Amino acid sequence: AQSVTQPDIHITVSEGASLELRCNYSYGATPYLFWYVQSPGQGLQLLLKYFSGDTLVQGIKGFEAEFKRSQSSFNLRKPSVHWSDAAEYFCAVDFTGTASKLTFGTGTRLQVTL
Amino acid sequence: EAQVTQNPRYLITVTGKKLTVTCSQNMNHEYMSWYRQDPGLGLRQIYYSMNVEVTDKGDVPEGYKVSRKEKRNFPLILESPSPNQTSLYFCASSGSGGDYLTQYFGPGTRLTVL
């Protein structure tokens, strides 16, 4: 069955430290991959997406993600975290290829300590 | 400004009292979806629509109805709400233009059913 896994429910990092949030999916082919961020009380904002081509994609707010086909992973990274990055992060996958449905991971809540 | 709007943003109701949550997008998108977000479960799709008068069930359609009479609007109807439908609801849209396959989300509607 197609599924999306975010193994870390909660991560705490110090401001200025690097960040990596993990995302794995279960699927035979390469799907379309997304990362969204949800700040407290807010909706979902698209950080970045991968459809094809260069496996390292750049997004907004200094985030990047790397697609690794061999590991079925699409991990989100940021070299230096800011306190304003505290939020919940969702990996989402379009297994349909038609924009009709996203399958979401359960989310990773990021806490940033000063 | 390109956006997806939802109303109301907050709603408290009682079991069995019919309600409608409206969703509207101004991007001329073909695809629209409804998701619900519950703690520890991420977002799950309720219904989606590929165009006017074309709708289909997502993963958790029980207890919900939708209609798509106009391209810009996609209301979510709960004809007899129950407490297990207490959740945060998001509407999303995507189109066939330059941002094909990318879903944009509304601000969310927090529903409490007593």
pLDDT tens, A91-113? Answer: 999 988 877 789 999 999 999 99
Interface of A with B in 16-75 (CB under 8 A): 32, 34, 36, 42-46, 49, 51
Residue B31 pLDDT more than 70?
Answer: yes
pLDDT at A98 (0 to 100) = 78
B61-91: burial string, b at 16+ Cβ within 10 Å, e else:
beebebbbeeebebbbebeebeeebbbbbbb
Indicate the residue of A42, A99, A104 with minimum beta-carbon distance to B43. Answer: A104
- The sign one gets for the Cα dihedral A56, A36, B98, A29 is positive
**Could you tell me which residues come within 8 angstroms of residue B6 by beta carbon, excluding any fewer than 6 positions away?**
B21, B22, B23, B89, B90, B91, B106, B107, B108, B109
pLDDT at A76 (0 to 100) = 98
Q: How confident is the model at residue B101 (pLDDT cuts 50, 70, 90)?
A: confident
Please give the residue that has the higher pLDDT: either B103 or B6.
Answer: B6
B105 and A51: CB-CB below 8 Å?
no
**Nearest CA to A60 among A37, A32, A87, A90?**
A37
Q: Name the token pair of A40.
A: 């407290």
pLDDT at A8 (0 to 100) = 95
Indicate the residue of B40, B41, B50 with minimum beta-carbon distance to A100. Answer: B50
Indicate the residue of A42, A101, A106 with minimum beta-carbon distance to B45. Answer: A101
pLDDT at A84 (0 to 100) = 95
What residues of chain A score a pLDDT lower than 50?
none
Question: What average pLDDT does the segment B55-60 reach?
Answer: 94
**Nearest CA to B88 among B52, B35, B47, B51?**
B35
A104 and B44: CB-CB below 8 Å?
yes
Measured CA to CA in angstroms, residue B32 lies from A12, A56, A68, A114, B3 at distances of: 35, 29, 30, 40, 13
Q: How far apart are CA B29 and CA B95, in angstroms?
A: 4
